[in-house]
Structure 1
Amino acid sequence: MHKSSASAVPVFKLYGETAAWPTPDLIHCESIPERSRLHDWEIKPHRHGDLVQLLYLQGGSAELEVEGVVNRVQQPSLQVVPALSVHGFRFSQDIQGHVLSLALPLVEQLSTVLDSPPLSHAVCYPVAEQQRYMDTLFDSIAEEYSTQQAGRELMLQSLISALLVWVGRRSQALMYAETQNQDRGREHLQRFTCLLESHFREHRPIEQYATELGISAAHLNALCRRLAGQSALQLINQRLLLEAKRCLVYTAMTVNQISDSLGFSEPAYFSRFFKRGCGLSPKAFRQQR
């Protein structure tokens, strides 16, 4: 999708419309094909000043971009589009699903009973095993919206409240999972640091450390980059370099002895390693200190 500058992004009530809100109950519901078919299955980047939208994709595929984040969806999913967020969509011609637009006053009113506002962040939630429930919920909302039966407003608010509870629960579950992953990541990094302290002289491959931790080498590298800002190999090399500096400053060991004590196959290799990491040869570093 093409990105647009904020000043060039149109602001609509509903996509392609500048008319007043079509219903008095602060809700609008339509099928995804109903509007996207009119625009060749592409909704170009735009935003709504006072609307929150929920796109429920039941079938087909879509490319959903919200605030620069693109989700390519091929499974039943629910996309939250907060107010004022720039968004654009591209749908397959066999797309099935619903678009539910909620005016901010209604969202704020219904959110007061929830622990945290579930519609303030752009998230795409996979529906997975709860598809039957979501199908029923959105079908009920669409049917109630299109008829004028007694108690329509109350029924719509009740159904949308159930939907917001679902989104709120999924949001909390995601936050909990992220916290758990962060905690496990820190635990893995701490264990890696301990293993490194015991074995850095052995020049172990990263795969061996990862195996002892019960994770892949790629996962270990990703954890090190995310939590320590460096790759696993960089951390290993830094530990070796630190020990080499300590030996050069605080002992009378020769460069050859230091090289041997740190597990290098030959002093020339150690000297190249040290100069690459420190900018000075071992001898020059010792003289400078």
Structure 2
Amino acid sequence: MTRSIDTEIPASLPSEPRLVAIPRLAAGGRWRVEAMRSVSEPLLLWFTKGQGRITIAGSTRGYTANNAIFIPAGVMHGFEVGPQVFGTAVFFGRGGGIPLPATPHLLRIREVHAQQELNVLIDTVLREINSGQPAHERAAKLHLGLLGVWLERQVAKAAPEQTKPDAAKRLVSRYTALLEREFRSGSGVGDMAAALGVTATHLTRCCRIACGRSAIDLLQDRRIFEARRLLAETKMPVGAIGESLGFTSAAYFTRAFQHLTGKSPSAFRRAG
């Protein structure tokens, strides 16, 4: 079975920082990056080549080379990784104590000096992580701290250019945060809309404005990503997976899974 790069460490345990080439995140299938999901530690995506779209907290934007995208722990996201996309994903680890932004940021790094500074910091962190020198782990975390300073300065520099999200995007951000907490519960879009104080119709309209997808599409994408992850990485029975994700019957789970992936859960597991 192919293990996920960003979910192999139980979320309840501390994790060490690690750097992964962005194309490697899609090892085992592009669904690992394109489907809606979250990771349990802060993440910085540094794109050095290529372009695509990224959805963070229900809002879709384009990205291109020299874009740095910060995603806090637990924030739902997914992004395209075409064959010409290159860069590095920096997982800061859990329990590292590095001050980092509390909200997502997409930063267009136009200054060559700032681009070079980030490249040097990433290279230094990677060298220390792979080093056998004494105290290399502490050195890597100290350089990650400097990366956090770099990020804080770039966020401050970009602040005058950034516009505040409109009402639709604020609602969708609240929806995706609730969805991330509740996607296993069996709650539907109507239940979540009611919890947010709006109608399901209004919520779906706002989702289409923010990311071009409906509220149910986001919910099913998140649930089916988790189903694929469990099928690929565990021996959990298919029926138990569906039940753990709030599907009311095995048949409903199979239909939903096949509709989104083109395969039944059992066929997907065999293909992996």
Q: Normalization by structure 1: what TM-score?
A: 0.48
Q: Who is 1:256 aligned against?
A: none
Match of 1:46 among 23, 37, 43: 37
1:182-203: CA deviation from partner (whole Å, max 9, x where unpaired): xxxxxxxxxxxxxxxxxxxxxx
Counterpart in 1 of 2:52?
A: 62
Aligned to 2:98: 110
Give the SS at the match of 1:51.
coil
Q: Does 1:131 align with 2:120?
A: no
> Is the contact between residue 42 and residue 90 of structure 1 (CA under 8 Å) also seen in structure 2?
no
Q: Which runs of 4+ in 1 moved over 4 A?
A: 176-179
Tell me the CA shift for residue 19 of structure 1: 4.4
Superposed CA deviations along residues 107-136 of structure 1, whole A, max 9, x for unmatched, are xx222xxxxxx4211111112222122112
Deviation at 1:178, TM superposition (A): 5.7
Cα separation, partners in 2 of 1:152 and 1:67, compared to 1, 3 Å: same
Contact 2:107 2:158 survives alignment (8 Å):
no
Match of 2:90 in 1: 100
Give the match for residue 227 of structure 1.
none
Over aligned residues, Cα RMSD in angstroms? 2.7
Closer, same or farther: CA 92–165 of 1 in aligned 2, 3 Å: same
Distance 1:170 1:127 in 2: 8
Greater helix share, structure number:
1
Bigger Rg, which one = 1
- Residue identity over aligned pairs, in percent, reads 17
Letter in 1 for 2:16: L
Match of 2:62 in 1: 72
Deviation track 1:77-104 (CA, whole Å, cap 9, x = no partner) reads: 1111111110101112122111111234
Deviations 1:215-240 (A, max 9, x none): xxxxxxxxxxxxxxxxxxxxxxxxxx
Q: After superposition, where does 1:161-172 map in structure 2 within 5 Å? A: 161-172=145-156
Q: Secondary structure at the match of 2:98?
A: helix
CA distance in 1, matches of 2:25, 2:58: 22
Residue of structure 1 aligned with 2:101, choices 115, 119, 135:
119
Alignment of 1:226-245 (within 5 A): none
Distance verdict in 2 for CA 1:24–1:151, change over 3 Å: farther
**Cα distance in 2 for residues equivalent to 1:124 and 1:155:** 27
In structure 2, runs of 5+ residues without a counterpart are: 164-272
8 Å contact from structure 1 (residues 63, 90) kept in 2: yes
Q: Which has the higher contact order (CA 8 A, sep 6+)?
A: 2
One of 137, 161, 166 as aligned partner of 1:153: 137
Gaps of 5+ in 1: 1-11, 112-117, 180-289
The CA distance in 1 between the partners of 2:106 and 2:45, in whole Å, is: 9
Aligned to 1:280: none
Question: How far off its partner does 1:57 sit?
Answer: 0.7
Q: d(CA) in 1 for partners of 2:150 and 2:51?
A: 23
* In structure 1, C-alpha distance between the alignment counterparts of 2:70 and 2:80, rounded to whole Å: 16
